[in-house]
Amino acid sequence: MMDAFMPAENRLRELVCSIRLIAFDFDGVFTDDMVYVLQDGSEAVRCFRGDGIGLQKLRSLGKEAMIISTEANPVVTARAVKLKIRCLQDVGDKRAALEGVADELGIGLAQVAFVGNDINDLAVLRCVGLPIVVRNAHPDVIGEALYQTRLSGGHGAVREVCDLFEEARVSQAGPGRP
């Protein structure tokens, strides 16, 4: 596994290790931000299958993961159920929703990472301990991130974030220790 942490990035590693909850936007993060509209008006999206293994890694590290989406769409629910992660949809105020979940878990927003891609994620990106955006994020949000994925949304960005957490844990434990 390639070491994402260079010596100058020790602070990022420490920050990653302090995170207890990773929240993800759905459209443009789990998906490539495209939607297929079928004749009956239903929608379908394309997701990266490897995200499931990444989310399993987060669980094994004792990290909570969830989806927070502005839209209400059955396809988001179906994907969250398949991935076995919590999902909040039809959320008008993502920051307030995330604050509620953090309170429920007994953690502060400094212990939360959020992965977003567009301007409806700005308030959340600005309030969490580790703001992350995907490679193909809208230019208006890129400057808010402490980490930008190498991969685009829907093309392995979620898995990359999960791998980042695993790598930080392995790096923190030292050679030969889990």
pLDDT band at 4 (very low <50, low <70, confident <90, very high): low
Distance between CA atoms of residues 35 and 134, nearest Å: 18
Residue 66 has pLDDT above 50, yes or no: yes
Q: In whole numbers, what is the pLDDT of the chain averaged over residues?
A: 92
**Predicted local distance difference test score (pLDDT) of residue 40:** 96
Distance between CA atoms of residues 22 and 59, nearest Å: 11
The residue ranges of DSSP E strands in the chain, in sequence order, are 21-24, 36-37, 43-44, 64-68, 86-88, 112-116, 130-133, 147-148
Distance between CA atoms of residues 43 and 23, nearest Å: 23
Classify domain 8-173 at the CATH superfamily level.
Answer: HAD superfamily/HAD-like (3.40.50.1000)
Q: What is the pLDDT of residues 117-176, one digit of tens each?
A: 999 999 999 999 999 999 999 999 999 999 999 999 999 999 999 999 999 988 766 555
- pTM for the complete prediction? 0.91
